[in-house]
Structure 1
């Protein structure tokens, strides 16, 4: 009788674990554009009302800063990243800094490469989402630019050519 009760308890616990909803997530495998060696991996995890963005980008020039944006289209077919379109901006906002005031949903904090040309990062964004809503980034493009974002020039931030491109894929 005790063994049967234990098996029922274990079965209930396993069922509860299996039915617990997981947080929506997505990932992006950055591939170098023509003439670039920049690659990386980025993970997006919905945590309540914010998205945790973590990742690492390699092949950047040492000690440099780079514009980093979600773009409209999940299309890297052009070889130079231009096929990904402009910044993802479903709410029609002006371009700006992720950390200050109004900005495109796709305006992310700039990447900062270390002395080895690697940018490791972890930040939260309340202007994008994973899984639902107009700000859902699933199927969109992710771009690393050559230059720092000036956060002023409309609508691009004057961040220069695209060094790496990825399609954001829901997990």
Structure 2
């Protein structure tokens, strides 16, 4: 292959890759408690088999906490019920240990240390950041990441008996800035 053709081919692949990266750019999510205080952040990044989530949160009680993606991009205090139910586009039963499958929004429990901090990396395999897909986290008005007060038992319907919602963050596509008016 001629060097000039190689350079042109490399530029095409680079530009194609840039378009894909921008379309699926990582989503930064601010996690808030019921008082409206920032308690952490989550970063959602498209992966080969779903979405990678990096979560750093503080202000939790020590021990395990349920973690779920909910169907609406809304985090109204004090109880975050505006986020709706677990994200479940395939209409499955709840629970990662459920033989019939789990909600797309069911995630592993997280563990807060003695200082109330949790830092975790996990992958949600039944969701995407691609718009236009039924399992997209950023479609319509987005979705929400919710931390529960107790651990999810992995089976109980409809939400794992994990108690109150104690922290919430909205997952949505990046809002483009409006151009200045003339």
TM normalised by structure 1 equals 0.82
Aligned to 2:166: 163
Q: Kindly indicate whether the alpha-carbon contact (under 8 Å) linking 1:37 and 1:59 is maintained by their aligned counterparts in 2.
A: no
What is the rounded CA distance, in whole Å, between the counterparts of 1:163 and 1:19 in structure 2?
Answer: 41
* CA root-mean-square deviation: 2.6
What is the rounded CA distance, in whole Å, between the counterparts of 1:98 and 1:38 in structure 2?
Answer: 32
Q: Which runs of 4+ in 1 moved over 6 A?
A: 11-16, 98-101
What is the rounded CA distance, in whole Å, between the counterparts of 1:13 and 1:134 in structure 2?
Answer: 33
Deviation at 1:40, TM superposition (A): 1.5
What is the rounded CA distance, in whole Å, between the counterparts of 1:69 and 1:160 in structure 2?
Answer: 12
Aligned 1:11-30 pairs, distance under 5 A: 17=14, 19-20=16-17, 21-22=20-21, 24=24, 25-30=26-31
Q: Which moved more, 1:93-102 or 1:115-124?
A: 93-102
Per-residue CA distance 1:75-106 (angstroms, 9 max, x = gap) = 11243101111111000111012798611000
Runs (5+) with no aligned partner, structure 1: 1-8
Task: Indicate whether 1:80 and 2:79 are aligned.
Answer: yes
Deviation at 1:60, TM superposition (A): 1.0
TM normalised by structure 2 equals 0.77
Aligned to 1:3: none
Q: Secondary structure at the match of 1:83?
A: helix
Per-residue CA distance 1:58-80 (angstroms, 9 max, x = gap) = 11122x10011000111112431
Aligned 1:1-171 pairs, distance under 5 A: 17=14, 19-20=16-17, 21-22=20-21, 24=24, 25-34=26-35, 39-62=39-62, 64-97=63-96, 102-132=101-131, 133-138=133-138, 139-171=142-174
Q: Kindly indicate whether the alpha-carbon contact (under 8 Å) linking 1:58 and 1:118 is maintained by their aligned counterparts in 2.
A: yes
Runs (5+) with no aligned partner, structure 2: 1-6, 175-182
Structure of higher RCO (CA pairs closer than 8 Å, 6+ residues apart): 1
